[in-house]
């Protein structure tokens, strides 16, 4: 991974590191956290969709499932930002936080 925190130099520090050595296929703590998050979000959404389809009175459960599914990328960016900040990988943390802000801003603009 180009930005693995285990890499010498503290991960992908901008384009310099992206253009530099990139040991592919390295699993970091951020990978594990995001993987677990997406697994549970997918399961929760699937269960909610099933309930919604089986019984239309549970429509709000289906809506909540869609909310969980679509919110998973936002939460993923929050988790990534926090994890990278914990590892003092400020550039990656900043990018993840910027993406979170962009996702929230997009939803807000859609409402406006």
Interface with another protein, residue 110, by CB under 8 A: yes
Interface with another protein, residue 74, by CB under 8 A: yes
Q: How far is the CB of 88 from another protein (least distance, A)?
A: 15
Query: Residue 10 region, left (φ>0) first, then alpha (ψ -120 to 50), else beta?
Result: left
Q: How far is the CB of 57 from another protein (least distance, A)?
A: 13
Interface with another protein, residue 78, by CB under 8 A: no
Alpha helices in the chain (DSSP H): 14-18, 29-54, 59-86, 90-111
Interface with another protein, residue 10, by CB under 8 A: no
Interface with another protein, residue 53, by CB under 8 A: yes
Which one of residues 6, 9, 55, 70 is an interface residue with another protein (CB under 8 A)? 70
The encoded tokens of residue 61 equal 């459960």
Q: How far is the CB of 49 from another protein (least distance, A)?
A: 4
Q: Which residues lie closer than 8 Å to 66 by C-beta, 6 or more apart?
A: 45, 48, 49
- Side-chain-side CA neighbours of 94 within 13 Å: the count stands at 7
């Amino acid at each position: 991974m180009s930005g693995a925190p285990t890499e010498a130099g503290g991960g992908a520090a901008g384009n310099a590191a992206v253009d530099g050595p990139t040991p592919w296929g390295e699993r970091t703590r951020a990978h594990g956290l995001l993987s677990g998050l997406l697994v549970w979000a997918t399961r929760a959404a699937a269960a909610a969709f099933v309930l919604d389809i089986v019984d239309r009175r549970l429509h709000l459960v289906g809506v909540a499932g869609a909310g969980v599914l679509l919110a998973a990328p936002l939460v993923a960016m929050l988790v990534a930002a926090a994890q990278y900040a914990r590892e003092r990988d400020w550039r990656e943390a900043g990018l993840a936080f910027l993406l979170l802000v962009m996702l929230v801003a997009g939803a807000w603009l859609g409402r406006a």
